[in-house]
Structure 1
Amino acid sequence: MNQHNQNLLDLSPQGYQIDRVLGQNIHGGRVTYLAQEIDRDLPVVIKQFQFATTGNTWGDYDAYQREVDILRQLNHPHIPKYLTSWETPTGFCLVQEYKSGITLANSGREFTLDKVKQIAIEILEVLIYLQQQHPPIIHRDLKPENILIDDRDVYIIDFGFARSNNTDLTASSTIKGTLGFMPPEQLFNRPLTKAADLYSLGVTLVCLLTGMKSTEIDRLIDHNYRLDLPKHLSHLPLKFLAWLMKMTDPNPESRYPDAQTALTALQTLDSSIESPMSKPKLIGLGLIVLIGLSVIHKYIPTGHRSIPSSGNTISISQLQAEKGCPGCNLVGINLRGQNLQSYDFTGANLSGADLRDTDLRGASLRGANLTGAMWVGANLSSTDLRDANLPAGKVHKSDRLRFES
């Protein structure tokens, strides 16, 4: 054993040789090591939990024991495998498969939209697996620090806050998670659903797209716990922006209900491009498979909006480039006199919008919120207005409105 290793934990009686410290949480009583399994010369990760010497209670031991119980039942290529664990006089040790990647938080990389989409898809596929367990598993602490990437793959790590049964998913006396990444219902200790991890994933993607550190993400969150994405990510395609806004909606009922629904919405934007799970991995993140996304559902129920009706950051040129913006927040936008033939505004919030003299022939306003919109002189021939929340008052002949089945 060299001089460096003499200062490290001796686990040779358990069959492991410690190589170096990967990380430590002094307040949480946890040290993470890179080690070798002596018999097979296999690299592993060992987490040492010390409760009796750090001021933590043995109730914390119970929490980490749940991590062991959850990891034991999981078998997914993007979750490091549980190998073994044992109790110690001050806590216990947990051994997992080693993945050579680096966390998103420490990658030091700038992520293109294509790379962010790849990461989103692979994480959603892991969440689908977790949510398909009986009972479903909620990670509760998705953030850049808990996602590893290498040249080929993405991995979710650290299941210390995960919960796997109906009792665990209800409100508890202790709030666990990371500020800025916890959805409001978790922050306020309310029952969690499968939509909870979607919020955390969405905020993680925002970090990648803005280059913002995890500790700075609260700068984007207003007093209503809403991220002002149109202001900070105005360069994104509007459909992807709407998808991301739905992922991070502070109201869980307004998010996608589960990971499968979110993934389907992501993939249906461009169905001609396959999921990473359906074709061989490409070497290097520079060769990432691009998968689009679609937002077909309504974005936010009107009862949960807190977005001002002025200062809209979505421009006319963006709408023209995208031929619409399904699910987008377009409150109070001025579209007067614009040619919007066959544009897609499915599920968009157009309350208070100025649609006077606008050409909307063949456009889709299905499920859109048009409360308070002005549309005198608009050409609505063949416009799809099914399930739309129409402006108050009668529709006049001058509006040239016609429904087609």
Structure 2
Amino acid sequence: MKTLQIIKQDQDKTISLVEHETTHTKYIQKELNYYDKTLYQTLQKIKNPYLPKIFVIQENDNHLTLIEEYIEGKTLDQQSFSKEQVKDITHQLCECLDSLHKLNPPIIHRDIKPENIIYHDNKVTLLDFGIARFLDSKKSKDTLILGSVGYAAPEQFGFQQSNPQTDIYALGKLMNYLLNGSLEHQNNIPFDLKQVILKATQLDYKNRYNSVKEMDLAIQQKLVVIPPFNNDTFKSKMISLAWIVFTLMIVVDMEPGETINNSFIIEPLITEVTRFLGTGFYRNLSYQAIPAVPAVVLLILTNLLICLASIY
């Protein structure tokens, strides 16, 4: 291999652009002093269209050499984007991270930032797994404090262990930066995306999206929530589900032409349906972009089903 350019060099790694002397094919060569060999072996095996292919993994004298696919294009910090492009970029990143988070154990990237993402010909490529790690359910916090200031979630600073919500936090910060060039203020950011960013960047990871898939659906305004299953606790889920089953049994068991005129039934039913819709579609409204239309549609359909059941 012939070295064409040293892209980055520090005490932890040396990244170079190299060229095969016979085929003249370009590759990225990485010499790593801090690494997890198993993690790179896992990345080499999985099929993820948003990651550069790893062709060679070689360990010598306490350092790891990688030969990776060379991806042409500019990183996100070298470009500007429209709202739709930001949504597209985030959508692709969510798909990329979803496949990593679904591994057993999950891989957490922990360093999502504009400099580590190439966007070329409408395609995203996520780079630099230098501080990525496997999720370890036995640990309560990260061993090392690593991450990029502004994009790193609070748990990366020794408070808790990095988890899939750590990458969600960075995605929210990334969206903020791409939409207005800032990590902090939200001037000129559309309302729907502002709500997504606010939820994704909550300080407590438990208040963020449950998964990048859920965040992606919120960005695309396709988040479908079944009200009782959106409640906070297992007990409330079971109570809500039991009440739905109870009311459905009453409606199904009604005789043709019979109407619901018992205030003991109708008043709690109306209250409960309203509460379901409120918790399911408007809980945390200040943090997630869920349009009001689905709630209205569901309310109409619920009433229509009750009316039809009472008639027929």
TM-score normalized by the length of structure 1: 0.54
Equivalents in 1 of 2:55, 2:3: separation in Å? 16
How far apart are 1:142 and its partner, in Å?
A: 0.9
Cα shift readout 1:186-240 (whole Å, capped 9, x = no counterpart): 223412332111101111111111223xxxx4xx2xxxxxxxxxxx324333222
Please list every run of 5 or more consecutive structure 1 residues that lacks an aligned counterpart in the other structure.
1-15, 52-59, 221-231, 270-292, 302-344, 351-362, 367-383, 385-403
Equivalents in 2 of 1:294, 1:234: separation in Å? 25
1:156-195 → structure 2 map (5 Å cutoff): 156-167=126-137, 170-195=140-165
Equivalents in 2 of 1:73, 1:204: separation in Å? 28
- Code of the aligned partner of 1:17: K
Give the alignment partner of residue 37 of structure 2, picking from 65, 73, 78.
Answer: 65
Equivalents in 1 of 2:105, 2:41: separation in Å? 13
Give the alignment partner of residue 167 of structure 2, picking from 188, 197, 206.
Answer: 197
How far apart are 1:73 and its partner, in Å?
A: 2.8
Corresponding pairs, count:
244
1:118-129 → structure 2 map (5 Å cutoff): 118-129=88-99
Equivalents in 2 of 1:207, 1:127: separation in Å? 19
Partner of 1:254: 207
Equivalents in 2 of 1:69, 1:169: separation in Å? 23
Point out 4+ residue stretches in structure 1 off by more than 4 angstroms.
167-170, 293-299
Equivalents in 2 of 1:89, 1:102: separation in Å? 34
Please list every run of 5 or more consecutive structure 2 residues that lacks an aligned counterpart in the other structure.
233-280, 287-291, 300-305, 308-312
8 Å CA contact 1:143–1:181 kept in 2: the answer is yes
1:105-254 → structure 2 map (5 Å cutoff): 105=77, 107=78, 109-167=79-137, 170-212=140-182, 217=183, 220=184, 232-254=185-207
Pair 1:170–1:84, CA change in 2 (3 A): farther
8 Å CA contact 1:116–1:209 kept in 2: the answer is yes
Partner of 1:77: 49
Equivalents in 1 of 2:117, 2:140: separation in Å? 25
- Code of the aligned partner of 2:44: R
Equivalents in 1 of 2:139, 2:213: separation in Å? 19
Partner of 2:265: none
Give aligned-pair identity as a percent. Answer: 27
Say which SS state the counterpart of residue 199 (structure 2) adopts.
helix
- Code of the aligned partner of 2:152: M
Partner of 1:34: 17
Give the alignment partner of residue 95 of structure 1, picking from 57, 62, 67.
Answer: 67
Structure with greater helix percent: 2
Give the alignment partner of residue 4 of structure 2, picking from 7, 11, 19.
Answer: 19
TM-score normalized by the length of structure 2: 0.68
How far apart are 1:19 and its partner, in Å?
A: 1.4
8 Å CA contact 1:296–1:347 kept in 2: the answer is no
8 Å CA contact 1:163–1:169 kept in 2: the answer is no
Equivalents in 2 of 1:127, 1:174: separation in Å? 22
How far apart are 1:68 and its partner, in Å?
A: 2.4
Equivalents in 2 of 1:240, 1:133: separation in Å? 28
Equivalents in 1 of 2:48, 2:285: separation in Å? 39
Cα shift readout 1:238-287 (whole Å, capped 9, x = no counterpart): 222111211111111111111111112222x2xxxxxxxxxxxxxxxxxx
8 Å CA contact 1:239–1:295 kept in 2: the answer is no
Q: Which structure has the higher relative contact order (CA within 8 Å, separation 6+)?
A: 2
How far apart are 1:44 and its partner, in Å?
A: 0.7
8 Å CA contact 1:70–1:164 kept in 2: the answer is no
Cα shift readout 1:53-109 (whole Å, capped 9, x = no counterpart): xxxxxxx3xx3434423322332111001110223446232110110022212x1x2
